[in-house]
Chain A
Amino acid sequence: MRNNDLTIAVLSGKGGTGKTLVSVNLAALLPDSTYIDCDVEEPDGHLFFKPVFGTSVPVMVKTPQVDENRCTGCHACVDFCKFNALALIGSTLMVFNEICHSCGGCVLVCPRKALSEKERMVGFVREGISRGVQVVTGTMNIGESSGVPIIEAELRIKEKNINNLTFIDCPPGSACLVRKSIQEADYCLLVAEPTVFGAHNLAMVYALVSSLHKRFSLVLNKCLGGEENPSEVFAIEHQIPIVGRIPFDSELGLLNSEAKVVVWESEKYRQLFSSILTTVLREAHHEATGNS
């Protein structure tokens, strides 16, 4: 079974559960894999990989601008804008960029064709290589409201490299940014920690991936021996396959906090994540053939 063209999205709902730990280290195991950081508000993966980046590609969105010679101050654009991003003083149109959703509606409704669009930058995407892993990082500019355009730009890069095993490091939460990140994923890998909060958030991402008819399995992180794991209980109750258990380990925690790729630092962790990767790939391919 080839791993070409398999895209696995790693998500957890809650932040700090280990999405980046898992996605970075699984991608790092094989040369020729791709890692895409879709947490564009707080990107971290590049801090671990430390790739040599190529040029930054700006991500642009459209914003309206007015030809004052054509504008008659009729107000049609102001009245149309559902986001209240426009204001008209006489025939001077003011545009509030950070509120504008770039829908293009104002341009369409203007009876005098006085509006056109220019582009403005909301973030940037960088690509680089680190020990054979293609690292794609998207960063949203501080003060912007939505990371969606940056995620879309990153995923367009992925479309050009369809022969790589790809891991998508998803943003926290379970709403529109996450949906965007997992939309084209072939498979989802959920990560959960052993607390009531963790189980609660696992339930939310479980509902999300189920509603999108994605195939998925679960990695339990920060596992403590002996105590009951609420996330494991949830997984068993809902028949979610568990593909790995990462122990709560202060050495692992320290390496991680020093932004080290643990599978490159120690054989112990290389083996731990290799066995998780083998199981995930087996699950992903197994379900694929089962459904074909």
Chain B
Amino acid sequence: MRIAIPVEDISVEGKVCPSFGRAPYFYLYDTEDGHTLFLQNSAAESQGGAGIKAAQLLVDNQVAVVLAPRCGENSAKVLHSANMHIYKTVSSGVSENLALFAQGKLALLDKFHAGFLGHAE
């Protein structure tokens, strides 16, 4: 199963990005074969609707789980329509959150901020 995390830079020691839609990259980790990859987030430079475009990117890359600190309503709609689960990260460390997720210690993200007409931070 593929897990995606919005990140600030291309490094496993890197920080989780506070924004979902405008994260510069997504870190993808496949739990079955251990493959990892960094996806450039084309949505980051969008005029608007960045969250939707970022969510579409993850759908197109067959992601099953998203770990993020926050997420907008519109992005969540897209992710949920594709049967993805969204969990709330607890710290800014990528590997830490992955480990906690593996141990079943992350909670589902259930509060989504309203769509800011595509201009959320």
A residues with CB within 8 A of B = 78, 81-90, 92, 94, 96, 98-99, 145
Contact = CB atoms under 8 A, between A and B. Distances in A.
A31 B117 CA distance: 42
B48 A83 contact: yes
A238 B43 CA distance: 46
Contact of B118 (A90, A92, A99): A99
Interface string B3-47: 000000000000000000000000000000000000000010011
B50 interface: yes
Consensus secondary structure, chain B interface: helix
Contacts of A82: 47
13 contacts: A83-B47, A83-B49, A84-B43, A84-B46, A84-B48, A84-B49, A85-B118, A87-B55, A90-B82, A99-B49, A99-B52, A99-B115, A99-B118
Interface string B61-100: 0000000000000100110011000000000000000000
A83 B78 contact: no
Contacts of B55: 87
B56 A96 contact: no
Contact of B52 (A84, A90, A92, A145): A84
B59 A87 contact: yes
A145 B47 contact: no
A197 to B, nearest CB: 26
Contact of A87 (B48, B78, B117): B78
A75 to B, nearest CB: 8
Given A82-B47, A94-B77, A87 B52 contact: yes
A89 B81 contact: yes
Nearest to A81: B49
Closest 3 pairs between A and B when the two form their complex, measured CB to CB:
A84-B49, A84-B53, A87-B78
A189 B116 CA distance: 35
Contacts of B78: 87, 89, 94
Contacts of B59: 87-89
A109 B4 CA distance: 31
A87 B47 CA distance: 16
B56 A87 contact: yes
A83 B119 CA distance: 11
Nearest to B75: A87
A212 to B, nearest CB: 26
Contacts of B117: 98-99, 145
Given A84-B48, A84-B50, 17 more contacts: A81-B49, A82-B47, A84-B43, A84-B52, A84-B118, A87-B52, A87-B55, A88-B56, A89-B59, A89-B81, A90-B82, A94-B78, A96-B49, A96-B115, A96-B118, A98-B117, A99-B52
Contacts of B52: 84-87, 96, 99
A85 B46 CA distance: 12
Contacts of B50: 84
A99 B48 CA distance: 8
Interface string B98-121: 000000000000000001011000
B14 to A, nearest CB: 26
A85 to B, nearest CB: 6
B13 to A, nearest CB: 31
A180 to B, nearest CB: 19
A88 B47 CA distance: 19
Contact of A89 (B48, B82, B115): B82
Contacts of A78: 56
Contacts of B82: 89-90
B46 to A, nearest CB: 6
